[in-house]
Structures are given as structure tokens and as C-alpha cells.
Structure 1
Amino acid sequence: KYIARLNRQRQLLNKRILTAVLRTEEKSRSRFAKDLHDGLGPLLSSARMSLSALQRESLPADQQEIIGNTTYVIDEAIRSLREISNNLSPHVLNDFGLARGIQNFVGKSSAMHDVKIRFTTNLRSERYDTDVEVILYRVVCELVNNSLKHSGCTEINLSLSKSGDTLALDYTDNGRGFNPAAVTDCGMGLSNIASRINSLNGRFDITSAKGVGMQAKIRVSTQAESAEKL
């Protein structure tokens, strides 16, 4: 009994440490995103306004061309800044919840790649514990990005549903597949995904084989314990 109690205490301590690390990581992401938006954003916007003023002047054609090209580059920089800031701290997730956040990410990812991504959910505007929303969102992003980068798939199917106090995330792609036991790290890595889900006392199961795509099943409670309660 003593050994079992020690093991239980060690597991709880490990979860508490992991939860604290994940929360610190998200706070750092949010702070960096805000610094980018509030610092670099206004500078780029000011430069864009100055160039717009110059474009209204009667300048030689070659100078107008330079101004036009520079304006295009600044516009691209502003778009990239918004994308980076949103990836660091997704505003749709923060403002509207998990389902809308995932839908927004899936829509952008599908538009940027020649891959059909289907997302279905029975969630509406429900909000859950911040740890639950952020971790599931990050896991979805990693699964989708890994499929797009490494699987060679043409279709991804993603389902998010709630039954009772359980959130169920089911994910499949029709890519080339792999041996899960032989995979080391890929982006965030399957082991890190498992650790994140474990921090919520959830379950993460993945099956795959070469030539048959991959399937991932995630189950977490909407009543996830916080680090303070562990």
C-alpha cells in the first residue's frame, strides 16, 4: 500500500508539473502574440499609410513602381504578422470556444492545401475549462499539420462530439500510414500529444499501418482536474 501510495503521489506530481508547464507555455505564447500585434503591427500600418500618401503624389513611373512593390511587401508582412499572432494565440478559440476555433483552423488549412478536410461536431457555443480547450485545439492542429506534411493524404476526417461529461475527438486520414511504435518525434510528437491528453486525465489511442492511413481517438472529461486540485 505504501509503494502504491508513493506511485500515486508521483503521478499526481508529474501531472501537476506538466499542467504548470503547459499553462506557462500558453501564457508566453499569448504575451508574445500581444507584443507582436501591439508593437510591430502599428509600425507596419504607419509605413503602409506613408506609402499610400506617396502614391497620391505625381512621381515618375519608376518611383511609383517601387512604391507599389514596397506596399505589396508591407501588406504581405501585415498578413504574415496576423497569421503568426493568431497561431500563437488563436483569437477565435479564445473568443468563441473550441468548436469555432477548430472550424476556423480547418477552413484555413484546407484552403491552403489540396486536401479535403471534413469537420463535424455537435458542439455549439459551449465553453469548457481553458486547459481542455487549449490542449484539444493544439492537438488538433498538430494532427492536421502532421498529416499535411508527412502522410501524403488527400482526405482528413475530424469529429468532435460531447456525450455527458465526455468530449470525444475522432481523427482519420487516408495517407500512407506508419508504424506508431517506430515513430520518434514529428513536430510536437505523438508522445507529447499523449502527455498533454494525460494531463487532462484523458485517453489517447492511435492506430496506423503502412498504406492504410491513421486513426486517432481522444477522450477527455469536461470536468478536468486543474493543477491546483492535484
Structure 2
Amino acid sequence: MDAYHDNAEFYFQDLINFWNLEGKSEIASTLWIGTAVMLLFAFGILFLVLFYQNYFIKMKRREAELLLKASLESEKQERVRIAADLHDGVSGDLNAIRNYLSILQRNEQDTEKKALFAEIKSGVEAALENTRQVSYKLMPPLLELAGFTAALQDYFERLTLNSKIQFEVNCTTDAPEIFQQTGYELLRIVQELTTNMIKHGAITHCHVAISSSNEEYRLEITDDGTPFDFKGQLAVATGSGLKNISSRLKVIGARMEQKEAPKGNHFTITLKK
């Protein structure tokens, strides 16, 4: 009987030990599984936060690009309107005044009055020419009629005539019409660069080469003036000229690089096909 009791006690003790081991194993497994689930949950939350943060940044960047594009398009339309008003309104009125002065000068017998009419007429003609120049700078008519290359050539001819600096364009691409959609912004970029060259670069010659490859179109702008660091100047710029160049490049999806040159400056503007 005692032997039976001892065996039963031993059996129950083994059973208790087994249950204790099983319980500990289950608790350890539960802890590992819970830890893994919590880690997955934490990584999931972190992924969602990073994903939405990145999405938010992209949306804000896209919104800024759309606002910039709308702003530049609004500027373009306003330039077109003002240029048309100057050409059709102010220039027409000045032409009428000039013609009326011509009639008065022709019919006047008094020498002093004729000289006065001639002086007034000369002032009106100067105002008329200035109005034409402002209208042209606001929106070159050849840009809409003949495209970017023709407008740039005409712009450079005027610059050469007025500044006595040699400006020239060389187009080697077979499809200059590709610039019709982005010609306005490209022309403004070139105008900003050439204005900076004339004011600060002390140049005597500027050349623009238009070419193309299988994947992109390229503008090579070189001058023999004072070298300057575009990115460095852009970072500290207080005016709007260099910033306008950067903004217009973003709008048309173009890229501008400044290359080392033995003399002067060398800029490359590339635009994907």
C-alpha cells in the first residue's frame, strides 16, 4: 500500500512538473509571438507615417509647381495684353500726333514755330520708338509668328545694333519648331542671361548654339565676359533676375549647367524630347 502511494505521488509530481514546463513554454511562445506582432505593428505604423509624409511632400511640391506655372502663364498673358495695348493704343496715338505735327509744320510760315514743331515732333518720334521697344520686349511678335529661333535671332540683331556687342545664333537642329511650346520661357531665360552679361560681364561677344540629340535639345550659351558662379550668385541673390531663370527652368522641365570655360562663361540648357 505504501509503495502504491509512493508511486502515485511520484506520478502526480511528474505530471505537475510537466504542466509547469508546458506552461512556461507556452508563456515564452506567447511572449515571442506578442513581441513579433508588436514589432510588425510598430514597423507598419512607421511605414504608414513615412509613406504619407513622403506623399504630403510630393503633393506640396506638385502644388508649388502648379502655382509657379500658373503665375508665369498669368505673367505671359499680361505681357501679351500690355504689349498689344502699347502697340495698338499708345503707338497709334503717338503716330496720330506725329502726323498732325507734320501737317502743322508744313503749313506754318513762322520760322520759330516751325522749329518748335520740329522739336516736338522729334520728341514724339523718340517716345514712339521707346514704346515700340517696350512692346517688343514684353512680347516679341516673331515668337508667335515664326517660333523661338527666329525671335532669338531678331532679339540678338537688335541687341547688336543697340549695344555694339556681337550677338549671334547658330541653329544646327532639323526641328527648331520644338521650341514653340516652351519658346517664351526659353527666350526669357536667354534675355535674363544676356542682360546680366551686358550689365556685369563686360562682354564683347555672345554666341548661342541650338542643337539636338536622340533624347534632348540643347542650347549652348557662351560669352567672353567676366566669369561668374550662377549657383553661388543665385543663393545670395536679392533681385529677381536669376530667380526668374531658375523658376522658368523648372516650369519647362529644363536643366541648366555651367561648364568651365577658358574665358568668360559657358552655360548649357537641355530640354528632353
What TM-score do the two structures reach when normalised by structure 1? 0.86
Q: Are 1:189 and 2:241 matched, yes or no?
A: yes
- Residue 201 of structure 2: aligned partner: 151
Q: 1:16 aligns with which of 51, 66, 76?
A: 66
Shift of 1:129: 6.4
Show the counterpart of 1:91. 141
> Does the CA contact (< 8 Å) of 1:55 and 1:67 recur in 2?
yes
Map of 1:228 onto structure 2: none
What is the aligned counterpart of 1:4 among 44, 50, 54? 54
Which residue identity lines up with residue 268 of structure 2 in the other structure? K
Q: Is the 8 A contact 1:139 1:193 kept in 2?
A: yes
Q: Is the 8 A contact 1:156 1:171 kept in 2?
A: yes
Pick which of 182-191 and 77-86 moved more.
182-191
On the 8 A contact 1:146/1:186 being kept in 2, the answer is no
Q: How does 1:159-178 map to 2 (within 5 A)?
A: 159-164=209-214, 166-178=216-228
Aligned pairs for 1:29-178 (under 5 A) are: 29-123=79-173, 126-128=176-178, 131-164=181-214, 166-178=216-228
Q: Does 1:218 align with 2:269?
A: yes
Residue of structure 2 equivalent to 1:202: 254
Displacement, 1:67?
0.8
Distance change in 2, residues 1:159/1:214 (3 Å): same
Measure, in 2, the Cα distance between the counterparts of 1:161 and 1:187.
Answer: 31
Say if 1:178 and 1:208, in contact at 8 Å, map to a contact too. no
Equivalent position SS for 1:153: coil
Q: C-alpha displacement at 1:179, in angstroms? A: 3.3
2:210–2:220 Cα contact (<8 Å) kept:
yes
Larger helix proportion of the pair: 2
The total of aligned residue pairs comes to 221
Q: CA deviation at 1:17?
A: 1.2
**Higher RCO (CA < 8 A, seq sep 6+):** 1
In 2: Cα distance, 1:155 partner to 1:32 partner: 32
Q: After superposition, what is the alpha-carbon deviation per residue over 1:179-224, rounded to whole angstroms, capped at 9, x for unaligned?
A: 3344133864333312211122221112469x942111111135xx
Aligned CA RMSD, in angstroms, stands at: 2.3
Amino acid at match of 2:86: L
Contiguous gaps of at least 5 residues in structure 1: 223-230
3-state SS of the aligned residue for 2:109? coil
Which amino acid in 2 is paired with 1:201?
A: G
1:200 partner amino acid: I
Indicate conservation of the 8 Å contact 1:171/1:215, yes or no. Answer: yes
**What amino acid does structure 2 have at the position aligned with 1:52?**
S
Structure 1 vs Structure 2: percent identity of aligned residues?
A: 24
2:201–2:227 Cα contact (<8 Å) kept: yes
2: distance between equivalents of 1:125 and 1:181?
A: 31
Shift of 1:72: 1.0
Q: For residues 25 and 131 of structure 1, what CA distance do their matches in structure 2 show?
A: 16
Letter in 2 for 1:88: L
Cα distance in structure 1, aligned partners of 2:243 and 2:85: 31
- CA distance in structure 1 between the partners assigned to 2:260 and 2:118 by the alignment: 50
> Deviations for 1:126-175, whole angstroms, at most 9, x for unmatched residues?
53465511110100111111101110111112112233452211111111
